[in-house]
Amino acid sequence: MGSKNHNDVIYEIIEHMERADSWLVLSHEKPDGDAIGCSTALVRLGRRLSKKVVFACPDPCPPRYSFLLDGIEPPAPGCPADDFPGGNGVIISVDTSTAARSFPELLKRPVACTVINIDHHIDNGRYGDINWIDPDASATGEMLTELLSISPWGLTKDEASALYSALVSDNGDFQFASTTLKSHDCAMKLMHAGASPTEIAETLESTMSAGALRLWGRAMTRTDMFADGICAIYWLTSEDFAETATSKDATENLVNFLLRIKNVKMAALCCESTEPDGKRKRVRASIRAREPYNARAVAAVFGGGGHDLAAGCAMDSSVSDAVSALRAEMSRYVSGIASDR
């Protein structure tokens, strides 16, 4: 995409947002820091501009990011179609690769309004009327920083802090390979607007419960190395969550610890979960990789997706079967890459 097109789409989005009386801001299911940071920044901006703002997310905000909701209503849990007047409104979907990860029924436009899709996932389904997809952005927060910097609206300290939180939670505090000069340029813009990296880091790094630390301990003691020490995996069962009084939210970033082991280039965490639709148990796997390995290539074998270095998938099997299947696939994949070189 040339730089002219890039700016054209941003201006088109700004124009639609400016013109609309109401904004429906959508975050994806199981929201992470990027999704919550971006959606709360937009909710704050919309209120400041006197728009009617509805904020919705299929799942509750993880406690780690609840500080971003200070002073605003938590997102509506169900599909907010009835709350949304339509007509002169926009639906703004952030950080959401497919409509299925949000509210598919809404994104099929039962109401006449423009759907704006702002995301950095390379596999984005382009379900919007306006799609701004930038896989080079280290976070959707980076894209919104760019948009707000160009817009006539500017950025308040609260909005900048939300976007800074989005940025650092997706690029691993500027440590992941997705970090670019532009990521740092965005950080500078956000600091100019009042975001404090120290305050945000202290808030983000001191939110763990004792139960979560015990849960991490259980996973860590199971650290299983394979493929000549290039791969590592650990897992958590429903009992682990029950006995430590924690939920899946407590596992954010846990998988990344496996990459701290010397020479590990590909890592996975398998978590047993009970699906909301009933008692069916599934296993959700988070996969991480370091170059030249690709996490999405492995996730795709199990019907999952994501980024090159961070991906995920769900499996209908027991934890032990899921771990064996993933172990086998990672070994096969890693040895394939080794023989290609």
Strands 266-274, 231-236: pairing is parallel
Paired with 133 in beta bridges are 119
DSSP 204-228: HHT---HHHHHHHHHHHHT-EEETT
| In the complex, least distance from residue 87 CB atom to Mn ion, rounded to whole angstroms | 30
Residues 21-50 that bind Mn ion (CB under 5 A): 34
Q: Are 283 and 273 in contact (CB under 8 A)?
A: yes
Closer CB to Mn ion, 116 or 230, in the complex: 116
Task: With CB under 5 A as the rule, give the number of residues binding Mn ion.
Answer: 4
| Stretch of 67-75, 91-99, 103-111, 229-237 contacting Mn ion, by CB under 5 A | 91-99
Amino acid symbol at 322: A
Report how far apart the first and last C-alpha atoms of the chain are (Å, whole number): 31
DSSP string, 52-86: EEEEE-SSPPPGGGGGGGTTSPPPBSS--GGG---
Q: Which residue is nearest to Mn ion (CB)?
A: 34
Closest contact distance (angstroms) between CB of 34 and Mn ion is: 3
| Residue corresponding to tokens 């090159």 | 308
Stretch that binds Mn ion, among 76-84, 88-96, 277-285, 296-304 (CB under 5 A): 88-96
Of 134, 142, 158, 170, the residue at the interface with Mn ion (CB under 5 A) is 170
- Selected range binding Mn ion among 79-87, 104-112, 170-178, 270-278, rule: CB under 5 A: 170-178
Q: Does 142 bind Mn ion (CB under 5 A)?
A: no
In angstroms, give the least distance from the CB of 121 to Mn ion.
Answer: 7
Stretch that binds Mn ion, among 168-176, 198-206, 219-227, 228-236 (CB under 5 A): 168-176
- Residue whose pair of structure tokens reads 């704050």 in the numeric block: 44
Structure tokens at 136: 């080079």
Q: How far apart are CA 320 and CA 270, in angstroms?
A: 9
Asked if 134 is part of the footprint of Mn ion (rule: CB under 5 A), the reply reads no
CB of 13 to Mn ion, least distance (A): 17
Per rule CB under 5 A, is residue 95 in the interface with Mn ion? yes
Q: Does 158 bind Mn ion (CB under 5 A)?
A: no
Does the protein bind Mn ion through residue 146 (CB under 5 A)? no
Nearest distance in Å: CB 83, Mn ion: 26
Segment near Mn ion (CB under 5 A); pick from 83-91, 164-172, 186-194, 196-204: 164-172
The sheet carrying 224-226 orders its strands as: 224-226, 231-236, 266-274, 281-289, 310-315, 305-306
Q: What does each C-alpha distance from 117 to 60, 221, 314 come to in angstroms? A: 21, 41, 25
The whole-angstrom distance between residue 328's C-alpha and the CA centroid of its chain comes to 27
Residue 119 binds Mn ion, judged by CB under 5 A: no
Smallest distance, Å, CB 169 to Mn ion? 8
**Closer CB to Mn ion, residue 143 or residue 267?**
143
Please state the closest distance from residue 263 (CB atom) to Mn ion, in A: 28
Site map 293..312 versus Mn ion, x via CB under 5 A: --------------------
* Cα–Cα nearest to 86, from 64, 60, 49, 115: 115
Q: Can you tell me the distance from the alpha carbon of 201 to that of 169, in angstroms, rounded to the nearest whole number?
A: 10
Minimum separation from the CB atom of position 170 to Mn ion (A):
4
Minimum CB separation of residue 331 from Mn ion in Å reads 29
Q: Which residues bind to Mn ion, rule: CB under 5 A?
A: 34, 95, 140, 170
